[in-house]
């Protein structure tokens, strides 16, 4: 399996071919289909991350030293970005997740989508993903 | 008619390039853009004339005071108030409505009393009354609207009881564009001896308003939606109420004599203007009013009606668009869904095309609840918008449909 | 040290000719003048970037939101707040203090409770508390000052009782120039578990302020006295209080979910910022802060201290002038009488000489009552004033004496 | 006795010689001494006209068809202007006083001193003088 760094490089390369925003968004829409479907039992208020306008549901399981994320959103572009985040962070050790700098976001021009001023809840989502990692690290980690 | 191209030249921001596309600014419900004359006044004031008002004896202070009171005169004539001192400068519609809810509430609202709002209100005309109701153990009652976005005014008679103390309604809906029959609402209120407040945040810039003809008791609006600056707004109240109501905020200038034992208050309008007011904001807002009066409010209303008819027809043509609200009388505010597309997705695609619309609940969650949706896409137009921009909005919708459906 | 001539060039209004005489602007206590960078920001925003904030999805809105939050960051760092969300944008000091009196009062003040102010307060820090006391049947207690204009801080211990809920004091007197020992007052308050608010309307532009070092609970100031625009100000509150206090005004953006049955509120700082805030005012105020930080607050304090010493000596020399206040620690605010001349007459002669001073009670009638006078002439200086201007003030005094005595 | 119009012209002529403001103010200071002294029994709150900063006391008697004003102020320039106003309006019939347009104020450049934004109470004073005239007219006039 590729490292987090490698996956981020892959994503950056994939996005490099797109000259304009519509292509990038089209690709995100495509990627939204790849999102590992969250079990419907987690699509409740308890698992919701509230942006102002779009809803994001997130769950994290712990499996053999790795955190496995599943998620969903009612907005498609948001879902596409989540699918990138999961591709990078899911199936990693808590320690790796905690320490990762998600530089690919900037590199592919999605930073603004993650700013706290945006309405999609993605920033809160990243925070929540890291929180899960920290929690599992405390519970199962050996430090 | 006016010359649209000439008008657009007065608004430099309209020439901005956003995401490599010419800006198509359709977010006028949130805030309007400013003609250059407004910023010229602001700059001129700050760099050549600035001085605190309050009856200073020195030249600059005296000049600023005169200009500030001239701005009050401008607003007063604009809404045809009977007395200049019935116009109070506030921080905006929200500030005005909070002032009213507090001051009116302190004087007239007791436990068990009732306040009538409509289901169509902006949060600014809901939350201040809720806070009041909580403090005073009073009750809100709500006048509903039908799916076309028309208030069921006939039901008002049934909502009114002996405990009803005030009615506060939105003039033009910031979501549905509906022009509500406020004259009728005011008449019904008055026939029961109940004062009526109208929220004109979305109307004062679009249709002529005459407070004496309407006979409304209170009125609230924002400068930044009236082609003026942020941080300034207006409140109108009939003298008879303002004389009776206690002050809202305390501070300099709203007082007559102050001691720790006893403080007496200044006369109207100063009683309601505590501290250093936004005098430059007021002067610049007056300039904005002068600007649109130069164009003519009825010219503006006519042209905007043209945009409404053109836009409504076009959006029907494009297909797959659900428009919320279809009132007989309305202004060019289009709130819609592209069917099966999340408003946020629509807004994000529009943004990359240079189209600025608002998405979300538009500070009117009860309207969202009425239609059972989480949010809407809103294109709200002003007199500097064009039919070509409406065409481009439709191109945007086609683009979204291509991408998501 | 900084270059005074260069600094003056940043303030175009200082070159104005008033009544055929060069303007000598000594009314900085009322409002300060604006450097050109502040108006440049305002114009740039209105003509190229204007858009309502509130997490809009389109580019301009997003950009404005970012800039607005950057302005909050600037203020937060300027006063060294622990958390950015402890900084609330308001309409000014008066707005801030009214918000505090209301929200703190709603939560913590009950019948019979006591609030301690000083005898030296500006009306903005008196009247909101009086209005609260009247609503809640609470009581004001007053910490006096001596004839030199120094608070009798030792008496604070005697004023405090178990019913004391808050202490609110002015940092620098807008009349006497006194720099009050707020650190000591805060310590005394805290030793009894009582929170302390400081009114920094006259201090934040003159001396460095660190809310964490001071450990004050609340702080209020105005943008227009801080080389920024009118209609904007700041309020700082410790998180633990702000979390507990109920909102002040209701409206858009300060809410989370709204229905007619139940409304929940947004998190800090938004809970206290209802409606469309004066976002351009906030951004321009931050520019004013950046400007004085560029010069350096301690450079400013040093130079202004020089002006104080020079002015105090000169006014003594000129003779026949009674200066009110002679505190050990103070700033260059000179309130005085030319003996046997009415302040209004003095002010009118000064005006014709181009000297802008304020006359009257300076929104501090209790200070007038202390000294048994109806009013005073006040010359209040800023870092762009010069020793030559002080000399010219003395020439003005000589002129008045020649005419009236 | 000169007409109101003539007195106003006289005043305008007197002020014409002054080139600068200090001379005009010096003259007003001189004139303040000419002010017909108000009886001390009228220097009470009841007779006060409140400006923001200076106090003005005004009384009006009715004598043989004419209104006779006396006044005082604690500020000297204000007093000088009052003395001009009294010179023009005192000892006139109520009707004359009511109808007079005080154009001399503008002509000698004192308008700004009379503006409602100023702190001296002069505008309120003129209003009060006219009110007295109206009252006496109602009481004794034959219309
Ligand atoms: C010490 C003090 N507090 C409060 C205020 C009120 O400030 P503002 O009028 O800007 O609200 C002022 C200014 O007038 C002041 O000097
Ligand atoms: C109908 C209506 N009322 C009130 C408001 C609140 O205005 P402001 O935010 O300027 O105080 C708005 C604007 O958002 C509005 O559209």
Q: Are B26 and C51 in contact (CB under 8 A)?
A: no
Ligand 1: which of C91, C94, C219 to mutate, most ligand atoms within 8 Å of CB? Answer: C94
Chain C partners within 8 Å of D118 (Cβ)? none
Q: Are B33 and B383 in contact (CB under 8 A)?
A: no
Q: Which of C37, C197, C363, C394 is catalytic?
A: C363
Ligand 1 centroid to Cα of residue C356, in Å, is 18
Distance from CA of C403 to the nearest CA of D (A): 7
Which parts of chain A fold into alpha helices (H)? 4-16, 21-32, 76-89, 94-99, 103-107, 122-140
Q: Does B94 sit in the ligand 2 pocket, CB within 6 Å?
A: yes
Ligand 1: which of C27, C28, C91, C93 to mutate, most ligand atoms within 8 Å of CB? Answer: C93
What amino acid positions of A are annotated as catalytic residues? Answer: 52
Touching subunits for chain B (3+ Cβ pairs under 8 A): A, C, D
Average pLDDT over residues C250-268: 93
Judged by CB atoms closer than 8 Å, whether chains meet at C347 and B58 is answered as yes
Q: Does C405 touch chain D (CB under 8 A)?
A: no
Using the predicted structure, report yes or no on whether residue C310 has a pLDDT greater than 60: yes
**DSSP-based three-state secondary structure for A60:** strand
Distance from CA of C279 to the nearest CA of A (A): 14
Using the predicted structure, report yes or no on whether residue B350 has a pLDDT greater than 90: yes
Interface mutation target, options C52, C62, C269, chain A, most CBs of A under 10 Å:
C62
Give, for all 143 residues of chain D, the pLDDT tens digit. 789 999 999 999 999 999 889 999 999 999 999 888 899 999 998 899 877 788 999 999 999 999 999 999 999 999 999 999 999 999 999 999 999 999 998 888 887 777 666 677 788 889 999 999 999 998 887 65
Using the predicted structure, report yes or no on whether residue B54 has a pLDDT greater than 80: no
Ligand nearest to the CA of C223: 1
Ligand nearest to the CA of B360: 2
Q: Residues 6 or more apart from B251 whose CB is under 8 A from it?
A: B274, B275, C94, C97, C98, C122, C123, C124, C127, C128, C363
What digits encode the pLDDT tens for the residues C371-393? 999 999 999 999 999 999 999 99
Chain A partners within 8 Å of C279 (Cβ)? none
Using the predicted structure, report yes or no on whether residue A115 has a pLDDT greater than 80: no
Chain D partners within 8 Å of C346 (Cβ)? none
Average pLDDT over residues B89-100: 98
pTM of the model: 0.96
Judged by CB atoms closer than 8 Å, whether chains meet at A119 and C55 is answered as yes
Per-residue CA distances from D128 to D50, D57, D98 (Å) = 11, 11, 11
**DSSP-based three-state secondary structure for B139:** strand
- The percent of residues in chain A predicted with pLDDT above 70, rounded, is 96
Interface mutation target, options B62, B73, B270, chain D, most CBs of D under 10 Å:
B62
Interface mutation target, options C57, C264, C277, chain A, most CBs of A under 10 Å:
C57
Ligand 1 centroid to Cα of residue C175, in Å, is 11
Catalytic (active site) residue D44: no
What digits encode the pLDDT tens for the residues C29-72? 999 999 999 999 999 999 999 999 876 789 999 899 999 999 99
Distance from CA of A70 to the nearest CA of C (A): 26
Whole-angstrom distance, CA of residue A120 vs CA of residue A114: 8
Whole-angstrom distance, CA of residue B63 vs CA of residue A55: 54
What is the maximum alpha-carbon separation in chain D? Answer: 46
Chain D partners within 8 Å of C341 (Cβ)? 76
Judged by CB atoms closer than 8 Å, whether chains meet at B399 and A74 is answered as no
Whole-angstrom distance, CA of residue C182 vs CA of residue C243: 24
Ligand 2 centroid to Cα of residue A110, in Å, is 31
Looking at residue B86, its pLDDT comes to 98
Average pLDDT over residues B221-230: 98
Q: What pairs with residue C324 in β-bridges?
A: C335
What digits encode the pLDDT tens for the residues B274-311? 999 999 999 999 999 999 999 999 999 999 999 999 99
Whole-angstrom distance, CA of residue A100 vs CA of residue A92: 10
Using the predicted structure, report yes or no on whether residue A7 has a pLDDT greater than 80: yes
Long-range own/partner contacts, residues C132-137 (CB < 8 A, 24 or more apart): C132/C101, C132/C102, C132/C105, C135/B106, C135/C105, C136/C105, C136/C109, C136/C110, C136/C111, C137/C111, C137/C112
Looking at residue A49, its pLDDT comes to 86
Chain A partners within 8 Å of C53 (Cβ)? 117
What digits encode the pLDDT tens for the residues C135-183? 999 999 999 999 999 999 999 999 999 999 999 999 999 999 999 999 9
**Residue nearest atom 16 of ligand 2, based on CA coordinates:** B174
Among candidate residues B327, B342, B380, the one with its CA nearest the CA of residue B120: B327
Residue of B nearest to C345 (CA): B57
Using the predicted structure, report yes or no on whether residue A12 has a pLDDT greater than 70: yes
Ligand 2 centroid to Cα of residue B279, in Å, is 21
Residue of A nearest to B354 (CA): A21
Residue with tokens 């950057």: C70
**DSSP-based three-state secondary structure for B337:** strand
Helices and strands in chain D: count of H runs, count of E runs: 6, 3
Ligand nearest to the CA of B123: 2
Among candidate residues C382, C344, C321, the one with its CA nearest the CA of residue C25: C382
Give me Rg for the CA atoms of chain A: 15
Chain D partners within 8 Å of B57 (Cβ)? 53, 118-119
CA C336 to chain centre: 21
Judged by CB atoms closer than 8 Å, whether chains meet at C30 and B52 is answered as yes
> For residue B195, what pLDDT band results from cuts at 50, 70 and 90?
very high
Among candidate residues D66, A63, A60, the one with its CA nearest the CA of residue A71: A60
Q: Which of B37, B216, B363, B394 is catalytic?
A: B363
Judged by CB atoms closer than 8 Å, whether chains meet at C46 and B34 is answered as yes
Burial A30-44 (b: 16+ CB within 10 A, else e): ebbeebeebeeebbe
- φ, ψ at D5 (rounded to 5°): -60, -45
Judged by CB atoms closer than 8 Å, whether chains meet at A75 and B342 is answered as yes
Whole-angstrom distance, CA of residue B185 vs CA of residue C104: 38
Chain C partners within 8 Å of D25 (Cβ)? 348-349, 352, 403
Ligand 1 centroid to Cα of residue C199, in Å, is 8
Regarding chains C and A, contact by 3 or more CB pairs under 8 A is answered as yes
Give the length of chain C.
405
Percent of residues in chain A assigned helix, strand, coil, to nearest 5: 55, 15, 30
Residues 54-83 on C with a CB inside 8 Å of A are 55-57, 62, 65-66, 69
CB nearest to B62's CB, from D52, D53, D118: D118
CB nearest to D29's CB, from C344, C352, C403: C403
Among candidate residues C199, C195, C193, the one with its CA nearest the CA of residue C169: C199
Distance from CA of C272 to the nearest CA of A (A): 18
Ligand 2 centroid to Cα of residue C44, in Å, is 24
Looking at residue C1, its pLDDT comes to 62
> For residue C19, what pLDDT band results from cuts at 50, 70 and 90?
confident
Mean of per-residue pLDDT scores for chain A = 89
Whole-angstrom distance, CA of residue B389 vs CA of residue B5: 13
Looking at the domain that runs over A4-140, which CATH code has it been given? Answer: 3.90.1010.10
Q: Which atom of ligand 2 is nearest to the CA of B93?
A: 11
Whole-angstrom distance, CA of residue D102 vs CA of residue D129: 12
> For residue A52, what pLDDT band results from cuts at 50, 70 and 90?
confident
- The percent of residues in chain C predicted with pLDDT above 90, rounded, is 97
- DSSP letters for B230-252: TT-EEEEE-HHHHHHSPPSS--T
In order of their start, the domains of chain C are 4-28+296-404 (3.90.1150.10), 39-293 (3.40.640.10)
**Any idea of the CA torsion for D23, D27, D28, D30, to the nearest 10 degrees?**
140
Per-residue CA distances from D120 to B269, C325, D114 (Å) = 20, 26, 8
Count of pairs with CB atoms under 8 A, one residue in B, one in C:
314
Interface mutation target, options D33, D76, D82, chain C, most CBs of C under 10 Å:
D76
Which two tokens mark C321? 């002038």
Average pLDDT over residues C110-114: 98
Looking at residue C170, its pLDDT comes to 98
Which parts of B125-276 fold into alpha helices (H)? 127-136, 156-159, 182-191, 211-214, 239-244
Looking at residue C225, its pLDDT comes to 98
Looking at residue D124, its pLDDT comes to 85
Whole-angstrom distance, CA of residue C217 vs CA of residue C166: 10
């Amino acid at each position: 399996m590729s490292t987090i760094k490698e996956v981020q490089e892959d994503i950056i390369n994939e996005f490099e071919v797109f000259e304009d925003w519509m292509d990038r968004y089209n690709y995100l829409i495509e990627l939204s289909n790849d999102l590992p479907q969250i079990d419907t039992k987690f699509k409740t208020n308890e698992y919701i991350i509230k942006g102002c306008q779009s809803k994001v549901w997130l769950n994290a399981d712990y499996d053999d030293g790795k955190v496995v994320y599943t998620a969903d959103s009612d907005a498609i572009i948001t879902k596409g970005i989540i699918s990138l985040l999961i591709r990078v962070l899911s199936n990693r050790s808590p320690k790796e997740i905690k320490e990762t700098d998600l530089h690919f976001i900037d590199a592919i021009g999605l930073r603004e989508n993650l700013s706290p001023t945006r309405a999609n809840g993605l920033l809160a989502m990243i925070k929540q993903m890291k929180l899960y990692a920290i929690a599992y690290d405390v519970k199962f980690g050996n430090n | 008619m006016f010359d649209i191209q000439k008008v657009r030249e007065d608004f430099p921001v309209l020439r901005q390039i956003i995401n490599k596309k010419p800006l198509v600014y359709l977010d006028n419900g949130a805030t309007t853009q400013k003609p250059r004359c407004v910023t010229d006044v602001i700059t001129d004031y700050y760099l050549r004339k600035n001085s605190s008002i309050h009856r200073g004896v020195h030249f600059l202070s005296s000049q600023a005071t005169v200009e500030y009171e001239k701005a009050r005169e401008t607003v007063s004539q604009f809404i045809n108030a009977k007395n200049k001192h019935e116009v109070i400068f506030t921080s905006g519609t929200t500030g005005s409505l909070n002032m009213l809810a507090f001051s009116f509430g302190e004087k007239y609202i007791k436990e068990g009393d009732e306040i009538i709002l409509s289901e169509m209100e902006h949060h600014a005309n809901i939350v201040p009354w809720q806070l009041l109701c909580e403090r005073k153990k009073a009750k809100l009652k709500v006048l509903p609207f039908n799916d076309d976005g028309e208030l069921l005014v006939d039901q008002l008679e049934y909502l009114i009881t002996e405990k009803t103390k005030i009615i506060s309604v939105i003039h033009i809906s910031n979501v549905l564009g509906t022009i509500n029959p406020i004259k009728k609402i005011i008449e019904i209120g008055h026939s029961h001896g109940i004062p009526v407040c109208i929220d004109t945040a979305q109307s004062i810039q679009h249709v002529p308003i005459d407070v004496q003809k309407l006979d409304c008791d209170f009125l609230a609006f924002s400068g930044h939606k009236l082609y003026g600056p942020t941080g300034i707004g207006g409140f109108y109240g009939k003298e008879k109420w303002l004389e009776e109501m206690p002050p809202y905020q305390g501070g300099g200038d709203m007082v007559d004599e102050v001691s720790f034992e006893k403080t007496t208050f200044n006369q109207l309008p100063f009683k309601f203007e505590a501290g250093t007011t936004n005098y430059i904001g007021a002067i610049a807002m007056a300039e904005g009013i002068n600007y649109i009066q130069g164009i003519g409010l009825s010219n503006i209303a006519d042209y905007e009606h043209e945009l409404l008819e053109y836009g409504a027809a076009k959006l029907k043509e494009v297909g797959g668009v659900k428009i919320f609200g279809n009132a007989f009388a309305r202004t060019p505010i289009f709130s819609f869904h592209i069917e099966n597309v999340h408003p946020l997705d629509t807004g994000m695609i529009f943004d990359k095309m240079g189209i600025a619309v608002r998405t979300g609940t538009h500070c009117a969650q009860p309207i969202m609840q009425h239609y059972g949706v989480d949010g809407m896409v809103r294109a709200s137009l002003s007199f500097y918008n064009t039919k070509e921009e409406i065409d481009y909005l439709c191109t945007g919708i086609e683009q979204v449909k291509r991408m998501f459906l």
